[in-house]
Chains A and B, each alone.
Chain A
Amino acid sequence: MLDTAAFINILTIFVLAIFVGFEVITKVPPILHTPLMSGSNAISGITVIGALLALGAGGGTFTTVLATAALFFAITNVVGGFVVTHRMLSKFKKRN
């Protein structure tokens, strides 16, 4: 039942993305740790796509309820995360 070729493909994407994540983040200075966390937190709300797909696939009432609740939580995470990060970053200024 397992479609091995397709699985290896997405496993490849998964492993490479982890390496990209390590490389991109390693050099972030401590002053930006909080915005980095809340910004990446917003990106982890990507589950919103999963919720939309689950909702769009149709299915019974319970499935729809679960998917709608997931959509609500995920988009709160996404929008709240990006807005609060923007709010924080707008405070980081260099003055002379």
Chain B
Amino acid sequence: MQPEHLNLLYLVAAVLFILGLKNLGHPRTAVRGNVLGAVGMGLAVVSTLWFQGFVHMELVVGGLVGGSLLGIVLALKIKMTAMPQLVGLFNGFGGVASVLVAGAVLLAAVTTAVMGTESGAVMSLQESVATAASGLIGAVTFIGSVIAFGKLQGIVSEKPLRYHGEQIVKVLVLGGALVLSAMIVLDPSRTELYWALVGVSSVLGVLLVMPIGGADMPIVIALLNSYSGIAAAATGFVLSNNVLIVAGSLVGASGIILTQNMCKAMNRSLANVLFGGVGAIVENKEQGDIYAGKVKSTSAEEVAMILKSASRVAFVPGYGMAVARAQTGVRLLTEAMEADDIHVEFGIHPVAGRMPGHMNVLLAEENISYDKLREMDAINPDFASTDVVIVLGANDVVNPVARESAGSPISGMPILDVDKARTVVVIKRSLSPGFAGIANPLFAADNALMLFGDGKKVMEELVAAYKDA
């Protein structure tokens, strides 16, 4: 096969990727979109193998089969609640692959130049700049994703790790990485510089993700997703390979858009998430005053009775639902209420959970129809005509303090207006603050009832009480 033919097949693959992503954007066509992407990838792999013949065939087959098997096992065995970690880990794999490919190409170029089969410089300017970019972005993506995985899996503390001089340290390490990159561009034949760059960039990956707390994880995962695409595109520039550049830029762009969406949903800038952040240092002195004597605790039986007389009920799930694995109880209660002709729906905040769309995946797994899962802007006007809202494991995203323009870490963040409903039942283990570290006046509101306990257990009690009522 001629190189032109290979490029033509790559063009077909690139078109399939674009169509795939487009189809992933609608619930009815999403399955087809994913298949189109996979077909495009299969075409690109087979064409490449066909083009270059049978070089290192045992390694090619071994690598492809081994990696595919690992991918399939991980994808099929993972629990839906652990999806954010898995997506994070796969991001990291993409990043490390870019580091290794750029390293291999650099090494091969240097070896060829030393043997004198090629005159002139080891690499063109384009190739050396792209190699440095692959190493830097790829290593940040890889290590950043590993840290994110550790945080989501509970191996690394989810709490933001902050220290004095944090920003200066980050700037210095980034500066070091850029200096090493410049040195690689000036003299690509010194391959040890490349591995030094990968090392320094790995440290940068640790420094960037460690200070970010659990609730900001949706933004970090989306951003790392974007980085893994940009790293692939950079590797495309190393190889002057169109399909790497197209696929990498598509993913880079889509990750950036998701990141922006998440930031908007928190009313924070990306810079604030990465370098400022909320959480660790906020004090909550006046918490006692807000709650004193005003919090009403309730029981499953009482809530069941209120639900029985309701005609419209909405659930607002948060990360607490995922932690407690309470979603099965949510489904059972939904089914019981629907059997009584109660209208049930779900209000989902864009940043609820640990990755974009986390709550939707968990509820979809429970066979809850996706047209009941409503976005914040769509459901907010309806809360006023909702009889009961059940807040399950969510806190900051329903905190009315956010509506005030200033004075709290969440001021200005768009929230779900659950306090407009006739009755709000909050299922929570205690009155402890959410990630933002501030008290929630909703818990003390006249129309709010607190149902204390573990989410899963409380939901089971609620289902039983509802059926008895």
B214 cross-chain contacts in A, Cβ below 8 A:
none
B86 cross-chain contacts in A, Cβ below 8 A:
38, 80, 84
B361 cross-chain contacts in A, Cβ below 8 A:
34-35, 88, 91
B45 contacts the other chain (CB 8 A): yes
Would you call A41 and B250 a contact (CB within 8 A)? no
A17 to B204, CA, bound (A): 28
Would you call A36 and B105 a contact (CB within 8 A)? no
Q: Mark B43-83, 1 if CB is under 8 A from A, else 0.
A: 01100110011011001101110111011101110101001
A45 to B141, CA, bound (A): 13
Would you call A30 and B90 a contact (CB within 8 A)? no
A86 to B67, CA, bound (A): 18
Would you call A31 and B59 a contact (CB within 8 A)? no
A96 cross-chain contacts in B, Cβ below 8 A:
369
B20 contacts the other chain (CB 8 A): yes
Q: How far is the CB of B425 from chain A (nearest CB, A)?
A: 24
Would you call A32 and B239 a contact (CB within 8 A)? no
| Option from B71, B242, B350 in Cβ contact (under 8 Å) with A75 | B71
Q: Mark A1-39, 1 if CB is under 8 A from B, else 0.
A: 111001100100110011111101111111111111111
Stretch at the interface among B268-276, B306-314, B352-360, B458-466: B352-360
B418 contacts the other chain (CB 8 A): no
B238 cross-chain contacts in A, Cβ below 8 A:
50
Q: How far is the CB of B187 from chain A (nearest CB, A)?
A: 13
A84 cross-chain contacts in B, Cβ below 8 A:
74-75, 78, 83, 86-87, 90
- In B75-131, the 8 Å CB interface with A consists of 75-76, 78, 80, 83, 86-87, 90-91, 93-94, 96-101, 103-105, 107-108, 111, 120-121, 124-126
A31 cross-chain contacts in B, Cβ below 8 A:
27, 348, 357, 360, 364, 370, 373, 375
Centre residue among B63, B74, B124, B261 by max chain A CB count within 10 A: B63
B277 contacts the other chain (CB 8 A): no
Would you call B243 and A79 a contact (CB within 8 A)? no
Given contacts A45-B41, A73-B96, contact A79 B364 (CB under 8 A): no
Q: How far is the CB of B300 from chain A (nearest CB, A)?
A: 27
Q: For chain A, give the interface size range.
A: 35 or more
Would you call B258 and A37 a contact (CB within 8 A)? yes
B236 contacts the other chain (CB 8 A): yes
Would you call A77 and B97 a contact (CB within 8 A)? yes
Would you call B55 and A55 a contact (CB within 8 A)? yes
B31 contacts the other chain (CB 8 A): yes
Q: How far is the CB of A70 from chain B (nearest CB, A)?
A: 4
Would you call A95 and B369 a contact (CB within 8 A)? yes
Would you call B93 and A55 a contact (CB within 8 A)? no
Would you call A49 and B100 a contact (CB within 8 A)? no
Would you call B98 and A47 a contact (CB within 8 A)? yes
| Option from B100, B251, B375 in Cβ contact (under 8 Å) with A69 | B100
B213 contacts the other chain (CB 8 A): no
Chain B residue with Cβ nearest A50: B101
A83 to B232, CA, bound (A): 20
Given contacts A39-B33, A41-B228, A49-B48, contact A20 B244 (CB under 8 A): no
Would you call B246 and A58 a contact (CB within 8 A)? no
Q: How far is the CB of B15 from chain A (nearest CB, A)?
A: 10
Would you call B240 and A36 a contact (CB within 8 A)? no
Chain B residue with Cβ nearest A7: B126
Q: Name 22 interchain pairs, CB-CB below 8 A, sorted by A.
A: A3-B124, A14-B245, A19-B253, A24-B250, A29-B27, A30-B357, A31-B370, A32-B26, A33-B350, A36-B24, A37-B222, A37-B356, A38-B87, A46-B44, A51-B63, A66-B104, A67-B100, A68-B62, A71-B60, A77-B71, A91-B361, A91-B364
List 4 extra interface pairs beyond A3-B126, A21-B21, A38-B86, CB under 8 A: A28-B25, A29-B25, A40-B21, A49-B45
Seen from chain A, the residues whose Cβ lies within 8 Å of a Cβ on chain B are 1-3, 6-7, 10, 13-14, 17-22, 24-60, 62-64, 66-96
